C-alpha cells in the first residue's frame, strides 16, 4: 500500500463495539504500579515524561515514513535538531555543518557546542564526495539540510554518506522541506533524518513538535538516552495533534507542492525576478540531483529579485493580502518573508539581489498568483 493509505489506518484502535476511530489521549505525569518490584523495570514506562500510547502510534508512522528503525520526539523542530546533534558528540569532537543550515542550528553550533568544547566547520552544500577531505580524526557528525530552507541548495547525499561511512562518521539531515514525503534520506545512506513536524504534520500552525528517525536501533538507543538525559518531553495532546495531521498530510502536501511549482514557474518569467530557487525547475543548479533523489517538490521556494532597495522589497511584502508575514511553513496559510537579514553564510556565494521566500498554503493557486501580481508594482 501507499503511505497515504497506510497513514489513514495505522495507529488506530481495533474496531469492536462502539470503538472510537481515534486513539485515546492519556494525560499523566505519575504512573502507578501494582507491585513495588515493577517500579524499576527497564521494559515499561516509569513516568509520564517517557511518552504514552499515542506517542507509540505516532512513532510507527514516522518510522514507516522514513523507512527507519527508531524514532524519538522533541518539543520543537529545533529541539529535534539539537537532540540529534548532542546524541552524536562529546567534548573534543568535531562537526561538519552545511553552510545552508537552519539559522538557529548554526547559532547552536557557534555557541552551545563551542561551550561544550565541540568545534564546527562549515562546508559548501554542493561539496559532494569532496567532503572526505574535510573529515578530521575527531569528526563524529556531518550535519546536512536539503534543500537549505532559505537558499535551496541540494547535497549529493549518496556521495556524502559513502564518504562518511568510510571514516565512521554519522550523518544527520534536516529533512523538513520534503516532509519525508518526497525525499527518503535513510534510503540514500544517511543515518538520522530530522523533522520539524510543526509544519506539514501539524498543518494548522498551532502546535510545536519535532521528530528524529534513525536508520538503525543502535543509533536510536543513543538518541533515546540523550532525550531522557536532557529531559525533553512532548505532551500526549501535541502528539495526538501531529498524529491527526498525519492522516491528511499527503493530500495537503500535494496541494501546496503543486501551487509552489506553479508560482515558481510563473515568477521565473517575470521582469522583476533575477532567479527562482526551486530544485524542480530545470534552471536550478541542482536539478539533476533533485530528479535523481526526490519524487517531488514541496511548498517552499525562494526568489532572488533584481536589485532594488530594501524599502521596495518591504513594500512589496506589505502589499500582499493572502500571504501572511511570518516564519515557518507547511500550514494552511501562505507566507512570505524577507530573507536577507537571516543570511549568515561563511562559504556559500552571495546573491546578486534581495532574497525573499514564499511558502504556499492551501489557498487556490490562481488567487495566490493574483495576489503576487497586484503587489509586484511596489518593486518599481
Q: Are strands 335-338 and 192-195 parallel, antiparallel or unpaired?
A: unpaired
| Whole-number Å distance between alpha carbons of 234 and 133 | 39
User: Quick one: pLDDT at residue 254?
Assistant: 97
Residue 161 and residue 18 in one domain: yes
For 268-283, write each residue's pLDDT tens digit.
999 999 999 999 999 9
Residue 228 and residue 268 in one domain: no
- Which of 244, 276, 309 is the last residue before a domain boundary? 244
pTM of the model: 0.94
For 146-183, write each residue's pLDDT tens digit.
999 899 999 999 999 999 999 999 999 999 999 999 99
Residue 120 and residue 238 in one domain: yes
Q: Is 199 a catalytic residue?
A: yes
Q: Is 200 a catalytic residue?
A: no
Q: Which of 6, 12, 45, 49 is catalytic?
A: 49
Q: Which of 57, 102, 126, 244 is catalytic?
A: 102
- In sequence order, which residues have a C-beta less than 8 Å from that of residue 136 and are 6 or more positions away? 94
- Which of 221, 244, 267 is the last residue before a domain boundary? 244
Residue 229: pLDDT band (50, 70, 90) is very high
* Per-residue cell: 72: 524519538
Residue 276 and residue 188 in one domain: no
Helices and strands: H and E segment counts in the chain: 11, 11
Q: What is the CATH number of the domain that holds 195?
A: 3.40.640.10
Q: Say if residue 19's pLDDT is above 90.
A: no
Q: Which of 126, 199, 244, 247 is catalytic?
A: 199
Q: Is 250 a catalytic residue?
A: no
Q: Is 364 a catalytic residue?
A: no
Task: Taking residues 318-335, report their average pLDDT.
Answer: 97
User: Quick one: pLDDT at residue 21?
Assistant: 87
The residue range of the domain holding 150 is 3-244
Q: Which of 99, 174, 191, 293 is catalytic?
A: 174
Amino acid at each position: 500500500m501507499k503511505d497515504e493509505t497506510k497513514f489513514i489506518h495505522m495507529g488506530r484502535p481495533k474496531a469492536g463495539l462502539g470503538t472510537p476511530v481515534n486513539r485515546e489521549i492519556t494525560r499523566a505525569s505519575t504512573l502507578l504500579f501494582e507491585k513495588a518490584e515493577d517500579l524499576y523495570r527497564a521494559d515499561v514506562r516509569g513516568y509520564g515524561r517517557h511518552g504514552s500510547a499515542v506517542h507509540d502510534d505516532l512513532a510507527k508512522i514516522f518510522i514507516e515514513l522514513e523507512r527507519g528503525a527508531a524514532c524519538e520526539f522533541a518539543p520543537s523542530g529545533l529541539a529535534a535538531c539539537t537532540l540529534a546533534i548532542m546524541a552524536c558528540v562529546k567534548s573534543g569532537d568535531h562537526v561538519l555543518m552545511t553552510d545552508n543550515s537552519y539559522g538557529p542550528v548554526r547559532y547552536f553550533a557557534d555557541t552551545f557546542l563551542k561551550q561544550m568544547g565541540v568545534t564546527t566547520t562549515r562546508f559548501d552544500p554542493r561539496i559532494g564526495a569532496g567532503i572526505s577531505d574535510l573529515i578530521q580524526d575527531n569528526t563524529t557528525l556531518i550535519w546536512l539540510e536539503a534543500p537549505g530552507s532559505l537558499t535551496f541548495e541540494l547535497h549529493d547525499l549518496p556521495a556524502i554518506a559513502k564518504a562518511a561511512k568510510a571514516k565512521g562518521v554519522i550523518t544527520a539531515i534536516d529533512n523538513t522541506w520534503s516532509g519525508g514525503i518526497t525525499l527518503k534520506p535513510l534510503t540514500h545512506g544517511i543515518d538520522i533524518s530530522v523533522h520539524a513536524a510543526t509544519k506539514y504534520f501539524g498543518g494548522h500552525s498551532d502546535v510545536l513538535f519535532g521528530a528524529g528517525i534513525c536508520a538503525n536501533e543502535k543509533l536510536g538507543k543513543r538518541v533515546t538516552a540523550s532525550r531522557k538525559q536532557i529531559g525533553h518531553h512532548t505532551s500526549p495532546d501535541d502528539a495526538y495533534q501531529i498524529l491527526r495531521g498525519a492522516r491528511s498530510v499527503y493530500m495537503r502536501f500535494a496541494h501546496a507542492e503543486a501551487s509552489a511549482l506553479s508560482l515558481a514557474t510563473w515568477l521565473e518569467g517575470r521582469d522583476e525576478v533575477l532567479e527562482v530557487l526551486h530544485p524542480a525547475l530545470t534552471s536550478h543548479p541542482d536539478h539533476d540531483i533533485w530528479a535523481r533523489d526526490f519524487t517531488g517538490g514541496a511548498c517552499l521556494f525562494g526568489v532572488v529579485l533584481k536589485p532594488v532597495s530594501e524599502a521596495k522589497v518591504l513594500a512589496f511584502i506589505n502589499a500582499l493580502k493572502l500571504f501572511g508575514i511570518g516564519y515557518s511553513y507547511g500550514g494552511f496559510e501562505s507566507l512570505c518573508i524577507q530573507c536577507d537579514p537571516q543570511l549568515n553564510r561563511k562559504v556559500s556565494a552571495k546573491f546578486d539581489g534581495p532574497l525573499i521566500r514564499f511558502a504556499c498554503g492551501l489557498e487556490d493557486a490562481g488567487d495566490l498568483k493574483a495576489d503576487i501580481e497586484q503587489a509586484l508594482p511596489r518593486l518599481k
